[in-house]
Structure 1
Amino acid sequence: MDPQNLCSKCLEGCIHEGTPRGKWESVGGVLCYVATPQHYVSPGWAQKVVLYLPDAHGPQLVNNQLLADDFAKMGFRTVIPDIFDGEPVPPDARFQTFNVPKWLKRHGKDVIRPIIDRVIAALKQQGVQEFVATGYCMGGHYVFDLAFDNIIQIAAVSHPTLLQSPADFEKYKLLSKAPLLMNTCEFDPWFPPESQAKANEILRDSISERKFLRKHWEGCTHGFAVRGDMNNPKIKAGKEGAFLAVVKWFKTHSVTAESSRL
């Protein structure tokens, strides 16, 4: 697909029900949605942060806030930076009328990556020693970017966009030490079957010391892990399963908190 565009599934989706429990905080001068565990979970939890890099709807989307709250319930302090600096794609935007290329030009890597770096620097000043990252859609691209620089210790992406296949998989194999989980789905123009197969070919059998896992969710479409229709049994199972897979991945590979099995 054209890297200057997004597919319709990047904009569309369902709004999930629930009341967010996190708080808005300024972290390094960046507005962030922060979800914090309410109870002590395990040694070292305060020294670790889940850096949640969102889809084009940003931390303002209630779905992203609720997912961050779910990570907090599992014992992870979770931070969603406003990587679009107050200009996410509105939740009611439609592919036919929203000017995606123009929006993307205002929110390229030269703008987004410095925002993420400021948040990470500020969290380090707070005493955070381990960064694990989960990224959805556009956010998945920046999880790869941070993994290339070995800024994060564990990586997870769900239906990522803007990845270059096979170049980014080769680069990950060459540069990153972070164990990588990929949640992929059956219908995804940004990460089609040939790209999924290429990721397996390059990563699964060749970096056992760093570990790679791809979870595939049948019957699901791009965006399912954040904006999926919870009235569709397959998508509901995929959304919930992808979340639990990320939690298990983080707990399995964590170096500062006790590992546990779900």
Structure 2
Amino acid sequence: MTELPNATRAPESDAQEDASVDESSPMGQHEHCVTDRPTPAGQGSTGEIIKLNDIDVYISKPADYPHTPSRLLLLLTGGTGIKSTNNQIQADMYASEGFLVLMPDMFGGETAPGGKEAYFADHSTSLLEQIKLKAVEVAKSFMIDMWLARVTEAKIMPILLKVIEAAHEQYPDPIKYGGGIYAAGYCVGGRYVLLLAKGSHDSGADKESGMVKKGPHIKAGALAHAASVTPDDFKDLQAPLSLVCVENDALFTDEVRKAGEDIMTRDNVEHEVQVYPGVPHAGFAVTGQYQESAIMDAQVTAYEQMLKWLKEH
């Protein structure tokens, strides 16, 4: 495990520099799953949304595809989903490196409820207004918890398996060229990289979908600031994995991470784990603008870590 040099925590408000983040608050624990950072100036997405097996999928292709061989990458998003410009730009970045990228709508169009207005506190407001904002914060936190409760393996895995099935039918050449499907996941999507790397699944998702449960479904994977991971998610892994982790992450705790490292080491799973201290929990590895250059540097480093791993496997 490698710990990167400390970075200064960035102000989390888009509106004003003195707005602070209470990461112990309900919204502070979940904000990274439900809101986007500002999109970097001058950037936009270049792919399109298509249907694969009746699933909406954002597809991004290398500029010279199919004339130059490409590998197929499954990109799994956080709660902002496939219509997020930042997520689309992230997919385009991998495409520019030679991957045919499929980014499926894991949530059936039901992205996470936003919480930016309550999460970013304005200290110039009155006490009464702050109390009102706090009430909204608690209500939105409840909505997010309810959304997370619906984001289950039994619901998500059949969607991913349908996309994988369609990919084998429609894009066999990139899969053959790469020797399998690659996967990169962020936040909620990070956990499903682990599940796709398993040799089997015990949730009943495959039984419900009528699909074969035998895995692994990916050749190699990389995940960043994954959410809702448990030690069991690391059992029976059969694909090499790279993990980008945030220090003191409430949704992927140090205890779970260390247990996962122990399990992967015990099972001889090729892996790397890098812990990024001093970066926010707000999906720092996904494309988005931060005021602090140290966090922007960490964002670049995290992408390079994941990209290098996928290219080398």
Q: Which residue of 1 aligns with 2:284?
A: 224
Is the 8 Å Cα contact of residues 32 and 79 (structure 1) preserved in structure 2? yes
Name the SS of the counterpart of 2:227 in structure 1.
coil
Matched residues in 2 for 1:251 and 1:86: separation?
Answer: 31
Q: For the structure 1 residues 66 and 131, does the alpha-carbon distance in structure 2 shift closer, same or farther, using more than 3 Å as the test?
A: same
Bigger Cα Rg: 2
Q: Which residue of 1 aligns with 2:64?
A: 39
Aligned-residue offset at 1:229: 4.4
RCO higher in 1 or 2 (8 Å CA, sep ≥ 6)?
2
Cα RMSD, aligned residues only: 2.3
Find 1:189's aligned residue among 250, 273, 282. 250
Aligned-residue offset at 1:82: 0.7
Letter matched to residue 47 of structure 2: G
- 1:163-202 alignment runs, 5 A limit: 163-165=229-231, 167-169=232-234, 171=235, 175-202=236-263
Matched residues in 1 for 2:297 and 2:67: separation?
Answer: 28
Between 1:64-73 and 1:84-93, the stretch displaced more is 84-93
Is the 8 Å Cα contact of residues 89 and 287 (structure 2) preserved in structure 1? no
Aligned-residue offset at 1:197: 2.7
**1:155 to 2:221 alignment:** yes
Q: Provide, for residues 45-104 of structure 1, a one-character-per-residue CA deviation record: whole Å limited to 9, x for no partner.
A: 1xx311001001111111100100000111111111011111212556556243113323
Aligned-residue offset at 1:43: 6.5
Name the SS of the counterpart of 1:102 in structure 2.
helix
Aligned-residue offset at 1:122: 0.5
Name the SS of the counterpart of 2:181 in structure 1.
strand
**1:122 to 2:156 alignment:** no
Name the SS of the counterpart of 1:155 in structure 2.
strand
Q: Which residue of 1 aligns with 2:202?
A: none
Stretches of structure 1 that go unaligned for 5 or more consecutive residues are 1-5, 254-262
Matched residues in 2 for 1:168 and 1:10: separation?
Answer: 19
Is the 8 Å Cα contact of residues 245 and 275 (structure 2) preserved in structure 1? yes
- The structure with the largest strand share of the pair is 1
Q: For the structure 1 residues 74 and 53, does the alpha-carbon distance in structure 2 shift closer, same or farther, using more than 3 Å as the test?
A: same
**1:211 to 2:273 alignment:** no
Identity of aligned residues (%): 29
Q: Which residue of 1 aligns with 2:55?
A: 30
Q: Which residue of 2 aligns with 1:78?
A: 101
Is the 8 Å Cα contact of residues 290 and 296 (structure 2) preserved in structure 1? yes
Name the SS of the counterpart of 1:226 in structure 2.
coil
Q: TM-score, normalised by structure 1?
A: 0.83
Q: Which residue of 1 aligns with 2:153?
A: 109
Aligned-residue offset at 1:41: 9.4
Q: TM-score, normalised by structure 2?
A: 0.70
Letter matched to residue 33 of structure 1: Y
The 4+ residue runs of structure 1 with deviation greater than 4 A are 40-44, 90-95
